[in-house]
Amino acid sequence: MIKYFLGFFLMITSSSLIACNNDAQDTIIKSVNDFEKDIAKVNTQILDVRTMEEYQSGHIKNALLADWTKPDEFEYRTQSLDKSKTVYVYCLSGARSLKAAEWLKAKGYMVYNLAGGMMAWKREGKPIEGINNVKQISLKEYQSQIPSDKTVLVDVGATWCPPCKKMEPIIDSLLKADGNRFVLVRINGGEQSEICKEIKIDVFPTFIIYKQGKEVWRDSGLIEAKKITASF
């Protein structure tokens, strides 16, 4: 009788653990084909949690970037994600992105992880985008875009940067409303790493205002439009 109850208990416990694990996987793991179908829908966000170097070696179209190995950077960038939209995360093999997905899920996001990561994505022959042989802007070329007789707002961001995406419509609205007061220069810092080093930028987005060809103001991250215009 004792053996019977012990066996029954172990069977129930094992079944419960399997069910729990399957439930967790059903809510967080997506196969390559399902992942691809889902990210083609509207109201989705794709998040690459690899390093910058890995991202530049090839990434999924429209993927944003937040390096999971840099906790402060990851938290800062993911703050700009929209909680009303599902987040689809991936890394190289699926391990880092699983941890990132669990972290995001705990923060209230609806999250799915790509099973097998980019390795599986490539193995299935899915499309990949990358940055190849981008001509770097020299400091002289950068300075030539800043006329000394005008107020210039430089917006340094990246296509994969969540806060940059959030600031983009704010800057566009500012340009539409006050475009006669300043010249806007946009720099893709994700591609132009050399000029970012020259002008000492390590956070995206970064905004710089020049007057008479000289820098008079600088700030980074999510900024209200009035804070920018106050420095014109």
What's the token pair of residue 124? 């299935």
The domain locations on the chain are 25-123, 139-229
Read off the pTM.
Answer: 0.74
pLDDT tens, residue by residue, 190-232: 889 899 999 999 889 999 999 999 999 999 999 999 999 998 9
> Pairing relation of β-strands 64-65 and 44-48?
parallel
Q: Is 111 helix (H, G, I), strand (E, B) or coil?
A: strand
pLDDT tens, residue by residue, 49-97: 999 989 988 999 999 999 999 999 999 999 999 999 999 999 999 999 9
pLDDT tens, residue by residue, 121-175: 999 999 999 866 688 999 999 999 999 999 999 999 988 899 999 999 999 999 9
> Pairing relation of β-strands 152-157 and 206-211?
antiparallel
Annotated catalytic, 20? no
Q: Residue 162: which of 225, 58, 79, 85 has the closest Cα?
A: 79
Q: What is the predicted pLDDT for the residue at 132?
A: 64
Annotated catalytic, 196? no
Architecture of domain 139-229: 3-Layer(aba) Sandwich (3.40)
Q: Tokens 């019977």 correspond to what residue?
A: 4
Q: Helices 2-28 and 95-106 sit at what angle, rounded to 10 degrees?
A: 90
**Which has more pLDDT, 17 or 183?**
183
Q: Which of 20, 91, 161, 196 is catalytic?
A: 161
Rg over CA atoms, the chain: 23
> Of all residues in the chain, what percent carry a pLDDT higher than 90?
76
H-helix segments, the chain? 2-28, 32-39, 52-56, 71-78, 95-106, 117-123, 139-144, 162-178, 193-198, 225-229
Q: Which of 20, 91, 164, 196 is catalytic?
A: 164
State the maximum Cα–Cα separation within the chain, in Å, rounded to a whole number.
94
Q: Residue 81: which of 55, 115, 107 has the closest Cα?
A: 107
Q: Is 105 helix (H, G, I), strand (E, B) or coil?
A: helix
**DSSP states of 178-203:** HTTT-EEEEEETTT-HHHHHHTT--S
Q: Tokens 């005008």 correspond to what residue?
A: 150
CATH fold for the domain made of 25-123 = Oxidized Rhodanese; domain 1 (3.40.250)
